[in-house]
Amino acid sequence: MILAIDVGNSRIKSAVFENDNLTELEVFANEDLQKKILKILKKYSEIDVLVVASVGKVDAEAFLFLENRVKVEWITHNSLFPFKNLYETPTTLGIDRMILASGAVLQYPNQNRLVIDAGTCITYDFINEGNEYIGGAISLGLQMRYKALHNYTAKLPLLQAKEPDTYIGNSTQESLHSGVVNGLVFEIEGFLSQYKKDYSKFTIILTGGDAVFLAKRLKNTIFANSNFLLESLNYTYQYKIKND
């Protein structure tokens, strides 16, 4: 069994995999890492490998307490990936984006793929049918947009995400919801429209914490999977051990 650990900007996600089946999912704060992992290892004694990727502030030292219990495998820029990285600055490409690209290649072979990760930031990553990572885009995530409107103005309130009833807000709160949610949806649809001009057919994978919230508002046919990064971590590790 494998325990996949995704250390993000704001929280940590973990998933237990048995024969590529996700059997348990946990989300917790950085400070709870040791307690949560020990609890999972106690429940699943068959776990023999932890596969870790981090874009947050948790580093390898945080996992030293496990060195005599299980193997800890870090996925880094030097790991083996199933695609050719054509990014002009390949070492600056976030490891989370590389893992998502890897999962897209391994789970959706022989086709163009666009992965949209709706998390703290919105990232777009395009991998063509030749398994070449071309690039993408980065923009503000849903919650970050709400926070920016509150933090950089004197009187606008901080709101939680809510699906607007219409694109014409009839109050300050409804105008904020319309601007944030509809604005993000229009952004995604705009990117998809542009990609369609250059690529007649491609698979769209929507993931991240806000994937489900956004999926129902998007007109395009997509695969919405909030756990795609964790699944991709597992697939990337399996690819590594098969091809080392």
Which residue ranges make up each domain of the chain? 2-74, 84-233
* Residue 9's pLDDT band (cuts 50, 70, 90): confident
Topology alike, domains 2-74 and 84-233: yes
Scan for tokens 């820029």, then name that residue: 77
In CATH, what class is 2-74? alpha beta
Q: Active-site residue among 96, 117, 125, 210? A: 96
Is pLDDT of 99 > 90? yes
Q: Looking at domain 84-233, what is its CATH homologous superfamily?
A: ATPase, nucleotide binding domain (3.30.420.40)
- pLDDT for res 196: 93
Backbone φ, ψ for residue 199 (5° rounding): -130, 115
Residue type, 12: I
Is pLDDT of 43 > 90? yes
What average pLDDT does this structure show over 209-231? 90
- pLDDT for res 58: 79
- pLDDT for res 31: 86
11 versus 117: which is more confidently predicted?
Answer: 117
What does R_g of the chain's alpha carbons equal in angstroms?
A: 19
> d(Cα 215, Cα 118) in Å, to the nearest integer?
10
Is pLDDT of 59 > 80? no
Name beta bridge partners: 6: 13, 53
Per the annotation, the verdict on 20 as an active-site residue is no
Is pLDDT of 221 > 80? no
Cα→Cα distances 136→133, 151, 213, 241, Å: 9, 28, 22, 28
